[in-house]
Amino acid sequence: MTNAELAILTLVAERPRYGYELERLLEERGFRQWADVGFSTIYYILRKLERRGWVHRTAGGEPARGPARAVYQVTDDGLEAWRRALFVALSTPSPLRAPFLLGLAGLPGLPRTEVRRALAQHIQALEQERRRVLARWDVERGRAPYFVEAMFDWSVTMIEAQLTWLHRFCRERLNKEEISVRVLTDKDLFKASRNPELVDVPDGMFLTIAGQGAPESEGFATAVAAIYAVAYGIKFELKDRGVDFKVPPLEGLWSAPEGLASPRDQWTWKLLMRMPPEAEAVLPEVRRRVAAKRNDPLVESVGLERFSEGLAVQVLHVGPFADEPATLARLDRFIEEHGCRRRGLHHEIYLSDFRRTAPEKLKTILRQPVDLPS
């Protein structure tokens, strides 16, 4: 028995039906998702079932107006055939989609961009079908019999299972194979592309100072001044000892209870500045001397610690800090498309001195530590 025949026989087995009534119920219950039954096909199938002795046609209660006014009811033989077909349908797993599996078998034959485009269309079609089924289910919810509710529930569940698999395959297999990691060296620690990329950041010793508040607050500005003062103090002290280095850009780790939506006075930050290993030996004396010279007790809060970041996705942002969300959205898409998992804190590296640079000329590396897909 075909799916179309089983669909028609199921409706007639419930109670005698008019042809137009069958058309309406096929649409309302979503039968057409599983059985290709057009209006003209309904009567072709009814005649087939009638020839087999499974349905019986009688005149309707009103004057006849063509075949649509005929009433069809199931026969005893039809009930028996219907029950056998129902048992087979319920006990037999649905066959796998052979065309799609053949497509997977031939993946090496298409450029990866074409594979990605084809699967994106597949996902889009499934999402449209899911919306269509949910819309029909919403119309019938609460008034349809439990077995009709089950049909809609099963359909949505199967669609969502396919979507889950497709998204996971694209994330963990298709995109994972293309991802490359740029290992940062001392020469390119402060270089970044405007396109997001995955980098491996080396460990290092960093001056640090932490606090809470908006970046435009007096406390933040005082902390920036303190860490710069100590950094230059270390530079001059080490230069006298034969070790010279260029004071690197300021960096910052940021967090907030609800991300950017949090009030700015609730933002917490830790300012960082990468130092050579020799800085550890001179920090206590430099810090004491700078604090006394500046008469600034906050200098004593500047510490030195090893910071390990490892794998991260980074991108260069050019322009005001207020425009960062658009660049961060591109960074987030890269993380999602490549199946990476976020960890750690949002990291910014200020290639420009924001105290002296026009907002539209600011250059900032935005970085997010990640783990690769397992």
pLDDT tens for each residue of 76-88: 999 999 889 888 8
Instruction: Give the per-residue pLDDT at 138.
Output: 85
Residue 27's pLDDT band (cuts 50, 70, 90)? confident
Q: From 325, 317, 310, select the one nearest 362 (Cα to Cα).
A: 317
Cα 247 to Cα 214, 237, 299, distances in angstroms: 25, 13, 17
Per CATH, 1-92 and 182-371 having the same topology is answered: no
Cα 235 to Cα 153, 189, 231, distances in angstroms: 68, 19, 6
Phi, psi of 44 (to 5 degrees): -65, -45
Instruction: Give the per-residue pLDDT at 60.
Output: 61
| Angle 296-302-304 from CA coordinates, rounded to 5° | 155
Domain ranges in the chain?
1-92, 116-178, 182-371
Spell out the alpha helix ranges (H) of 75-217: 76-91, 98-105, 112-140, 146-169
179 has a pLDDT exceeding 80 = no
Which residues have C-beta within 8 Å of that of residue 344, sequence separation ≥ 6?
A: 309, 312, 368, 369
- Across 16-25, 136-145, 148-157, 203-212, which has the greatest mean pLDDT? 203-212
Residue 63's pLDDT band (cuts 50, 70, 90)? very low
SS3 70: coil
Residue 97's pLDDT band (cuts 50, 70, 90)? low
| Superfamily per CATH, domain 182-371 | Regulatory factor, effector binding domain (3.20.80.10)
Instruction: Give the per-residue pLDDT at 136.
Output: 81
Q: At 181, list the tokens.
A: 């990691």
Please give the Cα distance from 29 to 7 (Å, whole number): 10
234: which DSSP letter? H
Please give the Cα distance from 59 to 65 (Å, whole number): 10
Count helices and strands in the chain by DSSP H and E runs: 10, 13
Residue 19 vs residue 350, higher pLDDT: 350
What global pTM score does this model have?
0.56
Burial of 135 (0-12, 13-18, 19+ CB in 10 A): exposed
When the pLDDT of each residue in the chain is averaged and rounded to a whole number, the result is 87
Instruction: Give the per-residue pLDDT at 339.
Output: 77
3-state secondary structure 251-284: EEEEECCCHHHCCHHHCEEEEEEEECCCHHHHHH
CB 290 within 8 A of CB 233: yes
Residue 369 vs residue 82, higher pLDDT: 369
Q: Could you report the per-residue pLDDT of 274-308, keeping only the tens digit for each?
A: 999 999 999 999 999 999 999 999 999 999 999 99
Amino acid at 57: R
Q: 279: how many CB neighbours lie within 10 A of its CB?
A: 23
Domain 1-92, CATH: 1.10.10.10
* Unique residue bearing structure tokens 């107006």: 65
Average pLDDT over residues 116-142: 86
Instruction: Give the per-residue pLDDT at 168.
Output: 87
Instruction: Give the per-residue pLDDT at 64.
Output: 43
Residue 160 vs residue 260, higher pLDDT: 160
CB 310 within 8 A of CB 337: no
